[in-house]
């Protein structure tokens, strides 16, 4: 392998730049050529490439988002689209690529490898922390810290007015952000897609909380929670069934995806970038770089995309105990 390409694909996450920087610098260190692909698979199809050297990635480790831009690309889902992408890579003498992204990006990479025998390695970049085979994805730590900081602020105003807040956080399919940030911010209840506790339990818990003399209540709601109600409907429900509360709603939205990455995410991204290039140099393909028990591992992409990471039952228990 002489020339490696790097791209970011799917939803962006803080720390992607640190991963790009790591791939580029590792290539420079190992005297491999490196090419950046802009706008994910869309840019691969269109040949939106740029030669990189160690200095091309100065001053990006601290920046959120991705300097290479990201995209959702429908064309790459078709055989013709992937054929065009392959021709572009051949034309530029690229021997392998590292894709930084989530499940969809890895599925596309695997398919591409199966069709053209092209070496690919994935780096998990998503705030959701939902990729099987790795304890952490790049961006998750930053996102939960952003959420905790926001909830701390909401708590200040909530306790000044004895209010109840429903705070919606990202997580359509998984509740890792909700659960971790919820425990970290001391939420009274955490509603996640993996668990259906029912609305009765919510009311009971809020009643207990009020009775025990708490001056404010924060309920964290993941987008895909199983109550069947969104935060605004939950507000109405509680106002109707538990009029003792003055209820407000806060939807955190895209602030969760942005911001300067935490040191944890920067270090993780730096380590994963090195491992990805090393793996390609060793002739490996179809793996995602993961981290387990503080050690980096190579996880078959097939396994990584086979399911979402299960919710941490021990952390659910901790959360239950903390809310007594
Ligand atoms: P996120 O964490 O934001 O969901 P992701 O990588 O899973 O990140 P997707 O939008 O699902 O984001 O996928 C990114 C891109 O990967 C798609 O726009 C498409 O180009 C490609 N892709 C996804 N699924 C497939 C597939 N089944 N076959 C081929 N390409 C795919």
In this prediction the ipTM stands at 0.97
Q: How far is the CA of 121 from the centre of ligand 1 (A)?
A: 15
Percent of the chain beyond pLDDT 90?
93
Buried b (16+ CB within 10 A) or exposed e, 307-324: ebbebbeeebeebeeebe
Closest C-alpha to 54, from 75, 30, 78, 77: 30
Predicted confidence at residue 245, as pLDDT, reads 86
Phi-psi region of 259 (alpha: psi -120 to 50; beta: other; left: phi over 0): left
The annotation status of 88 as a binding-site residue, yes or no, is: no
Predicted confidence at residue 58, as pLDDT, reads 98
Mean pLDDT, residues 32-55: 98
CB atoms within 10 A of CB 156: 10
Distance separating the N- and C-terminal Cα atoms of the chain: 57
pLDDT at residue 323 is higher than 90: no
The answer to whether the Cα torsion of 15, 132, 182, 203 is positive or negative is positive
**Pocket of ligand 1 contains residue 112 by CB under 6 Å:** no
SS3 204: helix
What tens digit of pLDDT does each residue of 249-290 get?
999 999 999 999 999 999 999 999 999 999 999 999 999 999
Q: How far is the CA of 271 from the centre of ligand 1 (A)?
A: 24
Asked if 125 and 15 count as a contact pair (C-beta separation under 8 A), the reply is yes
Token pair belonging to 39: 């706008």
Cα 302 from Cα 78, distance rounded (Å) = 19
What tens digit of pLDDT does each residue of 194-244 get?
998 889 999 999 998 888 888 789 999 999 999 999 999 999 999 999 988
> Can you give the pTM of this predicted structure?
0.97
Token pair belonging to 63: 């920046």
**Pocket of ligand 1 contains residue 111 by CB under 6 Å:** yes
E-strand spans in 32-102? 33-37, 49-52, 96-101
Mean pLDDT, residues 292-314: 97
Closest C-alpha to 287, from 92, 75, 41, 96: 96
Predicted confidence at residue 272, as pLDDT, reads 99
Q: For ligand 1, atom 31, which residue shows the shortest CA distance?
A: 108
pLDDT at residue 27 is higher than 90: yes
What tens digit of pLDDT does each residue of 110-142 get?
999 999 999 999 999 999 999 999 999 999 999
Q: What are phi and psi of 5, to 5 degrees?
A: -105, 155
Closest C-alpha to 231, from 305, 180, 169, 291: 169
Cα 51 from Cα 204, distance rounded (Å) = 60
Closest C-alpha to 181, from 155, 144, 156, 150: 144
Q: How far is CA 91 from CA 64, 95, 122, in A?
A: 32, 11, 22
The annotation status of 163 as a binding-site residue, yes or no, is: yes
Q: Give the full edge-to-edge strand order of the sheet including 163-169.
A: 189-191, 217-222, 163-169, 246-251
Q: Which of 61-75, 102-116, 193-207 has the lowest mean pLDDT?
A: 193-207
Cα 291 from Cα 230, distance rounded (Å) = 34
Q: How far is the CA of 109 from the centre of ligand 1 (A)?
A: 9
**Pocket of ligand 1 contains residue 122 by CB under 6 Å:** no
Token pair belonging to 66: 């991705």
What tens digit of pLDDT does each residue of 144-168 get?
999 999 999 999 999 888 899 999 9
**Pocket of ligand 1 contains residue 129 by CB under 6 Å:** no
């Amino acid at each position: 392998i002489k020339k490696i390409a790097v791209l970011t694909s799917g939803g962006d996450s803080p720390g992607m730049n640190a991963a790009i920087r790591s791939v580029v610098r590792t290539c420079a260190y190992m005297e491999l050529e490196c090419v950046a692909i802009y706008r994910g698979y869309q840019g691969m199809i269109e040949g939106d490439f740029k030669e990189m050297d160690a200095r091309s990635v100065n001053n990006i480790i601290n920046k959120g988002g991705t300097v290479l831009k990201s995209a959702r690309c429908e064309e790459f889902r078709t055989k013709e689209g992937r054929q065009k992408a392959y021709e572009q890579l051949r034309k530029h003498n690229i021997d392998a690529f590292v894709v930084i992204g989530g499940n969809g990006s890895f599925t596309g990479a695997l398919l591409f490898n199966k069709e053209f025998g092209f070496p690919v390695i994935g780096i998990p970049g998503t705030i959701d922390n939902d990729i099987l085979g790795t304890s952490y994805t790049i961006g998750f730590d930053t996102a939960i810290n952003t959420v905790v900081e926001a909830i701390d602020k909401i708590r200040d105003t909530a306790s000044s007015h004895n209010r109840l807040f429903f705070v919606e956080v990202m997580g359509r399919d998984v509740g890792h952000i909700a659960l971790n940030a919820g425990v970290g911010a001391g939420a009274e209840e955490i509603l996640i897609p993996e668990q259906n506790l029912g609305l009765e339990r919510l009311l009971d818990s809020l009643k207990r909380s009020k009775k025990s003399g708490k001056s404010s209540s924060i309920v964290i709601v993941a987008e895909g929670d199983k109550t069947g109600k969104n935060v605004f409907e939950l507000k109405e429900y509680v106002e109707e069934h538990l009029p003792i509360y003055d209820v407000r709603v806060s939807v955190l939205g895209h602030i969760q995806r942005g911001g300067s990455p935490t040191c944890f995410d920067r270090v993780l991204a730096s380590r994963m970038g090195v491992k990805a290039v090393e793996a390609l140099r060793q002739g490996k393909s179809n793996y995602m770089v993961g981290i387990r028990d503080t050690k980096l591992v190579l996880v078959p992409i097939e396994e990584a995309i086979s399911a979402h990471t299960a919710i941490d039952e021990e952390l659910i228990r901790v959360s239950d105990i903390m809310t007594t």
